[in-house]
Chains A and B, each alone.
Chain A
Amino acid sequence: MSLAAGIARRAGRRALSSVPALFGVIVFTFLLMRVLPGDPAVFFASGPNAGQAEIQMIREQMGLDKPIPQQLLLYLKDIATGNLGRSMNTGQPVVTDLINRLPASLELTFTALLFALSLALPLGILAALKPNSLIDHGVRFLCSLGVCVPTFVSGLLLIYAFYYILGIAPDPTGRLDVFAAQPPVVTGFILIDAALAGEWESWRAAASQLVLPAATMALFVLAPLARMTRAAMLAVMTSDFVRTGEALGLSRRRVVLVYALRNALLPVITIMGIVFSTMLGANVLVEKVFSWPGVASYALDALLTSDYAPVQGFVLLMAFIFVLVNLTIDVLYGLADPRVSIE
Chain B
Amino acid sequence: MKLNRRHLLAGTAAVATAPYLGGRAEAQTRAETLRYVTGAAVNTLDPTMPGSTREAFGVSVNVYDRLVSFGRKQRDGNWVFDIDNIRGEIAEKVDISPDGMTFTFHIRKNAKFHDGTPVTAADVKWSYDRAVSARSLAAAQIGTGSWTKPEQFTIVDTHTVVGKIDKPDRLALPNLCTLYAIVFNSTLVKKHVTPQDPWGQAWTKDNTAGSGAYTVESFRPGEQVILRRNDAWTGGVDGKPAPFRRIICQTIPEAATRASLIEKGDADLSIDLQPSDIDTLVQRGRVKAISTPQFNAFSMIAFNTKMPPFDNKKVRQAIAAALPYDSLFKAGLFERGAKLYGGTWSGTPNDASFPQPMPYKQDVAKAKALLTEAGFPNGFDTFFAFNLGSAAFAEPIAALVKEALAAINIRVEIQKLPDAQISTMVTERKLPFFIETSIAWLPSTDYFFRTFLYGPQRWNYSGWNDQRIADIAEKARFETDKAKYDAACKEMIAIMAEETPIVMLWQPNQDAVMPKNIDGYTYGYHRQVDFRDVKRT
Contacts and interface: CB of A to CB of B under 8 A. Distances in A.
A and B pair up: yes
Contacts of B137: 46-48, 54
A47 B140 contact: yes
A178 B248 contact: yes
Interface in A260-317: 288-291, 293, 297-298, 301, 303-306
A57 B201 CA distance: 14
Contacts of B43: 88-91
Contact of A48 (B26, B140, B388): B140
A268 B354 CA distance: 66
A32 interface: no
B257 A38 contact: no
Contacts of A305: 419-420
A259 interface: no
Contact of A172 (B257, B419, B458): B257
Interface in B50-67: 50-53
Interface string A234-276: 0000000000000000000000000000000000000000000
B140 A50 contact: yes
B192 interface: no
Contacts of B456: 51-52
B424 interface: yes
8 contacts: A37-B421, A39-B423, A39-B427, A44-B51, A53-B140, A54-B140, A159-B257, A304-B419
A178 B217 CA distance: 13
Interface in A167-183: 167, 171-174, 178-179
Interface in A123-160: 156, 159-160
B457 A49 contact: yes
A156 B251 CA distance: 17
Closest 3 CB pairs of A and B: A38-B420, A306-B420, A38-B421
A276 B37 CA distance: 31
B260 interface: yes
Interface string A75-115: 00000000000001111100001001000000000000000
A58 to B, nearest CB: 5
A337 interface: no
Contact of B257 (A89, A173, A304): A173
Interface in A29-46: 36-40, 42-46
Interface in B218-234: 220-224
Contacts of B49: 91
B441 A48 contact: yes
B366 interface: no
Contact of A159 (B22, B260, B441): B260
Interface string B406-425: 00000000000011110111
Given A42-B424, A179-B30, A173 B250 contact: yes
B135 A39 contact: no
Interface in B17-66: 22, 26, 29-30, 33, 35, 37, 41, 43-44, 49-53
Contacts of B29: 179
Contacts of B51: 44-46, 58, 88, 91
A51 B457 contact: yes
B15 to A, nearest CB: 12
Given A42-B458, A49-B457, A304-B418, A178 B250 contact: yes
B223 A174 contact: yes
- Greatest chain A CB density within 10 A among B51, B254, B264 is at B51
B141 A171 contact: no
B197 interface: no
Given A48-B140, A90-B43, A304-B419, 17 more contacts: A38-B419, A44-B51, A45-B50, A50-B458, A51-B455, A55-B427, A57-B50, A90-B41, A90-B221, A91-B43, A179-B30, A288-B254, A293-B220, A297-B253, A304-B389, A306-B418, A306-B421
Contacts of B37: 173
B193 interface: no
Given A48-B440, A173-B261, A291-B253, A40 B420 contact: yes
Query: How big is the A interface, by class?
Result: 35 or more
B140 A293 contact: no
A18 interface: no
Interface residues of B, number: 60
A65 interface: no
B256 interface: yes
A306 B143 CA distance: 29
B429 interface: no
A291 B252 contact: yes
Contact of B420 (A39, A179, A289): A39
A163 B260 contact: yes
Contacts of B277: none
B141 A298 contact: no
Contacts of B419: 38, 43, 304-306
A173 B252 contact: yes
Contact of A43 (B263, B264, B420): B420
A250 B444 CA distance: 90
B343 to A, nearest CB: 26
Contacts of B223: 174, 293
A164 B424 contact: no
A49 B266 CA distance: 39
A77 to B, nearest CB: 19
Nearest to B141: A48
Interface in A206-238: none
B52 to A, nearest CB: 7
A17 interface: no
B257 A291 contact: yes
B459 interface: yes
A303 B50 CA distance: 19
B222 A298 contact: yes
B527 interface: no
Given A38-B423, A91-B43, A305-B420, A47 B50 contact: yes
Given A51-B140, A89-B41, A97-B222, A171 B253 contact: no
Contact of A39 (B205, B261, B424): B424
A163 B420 contact: no
Contacts of B44: 91
B251 A43 contact: no
B148 interface: no
A60 to B, nearest CB: 9
- Greatest chain B CB density within 10 A among A49, A57, A174, A301 is at A49
A70 interface: no
Nearest to B222: A90
A47 B141 contact: yes
A291 B424 CA distance: 29
Given A42-B423, A48-B451, A171-B261, A291 B140 contact: no
A58 B50 contact: yes
A32 B257 CA distance: 34
A298 B253 CA distance: 11
A42 B220 CA distance: 26
Contact of B205 (A91, A164, A178, A298): A91
- Greatest chain A CB density within 10 A among B26, B223, B440 is at B223
Nearest to A51: B457
Contacts of A50: 140, 457-459
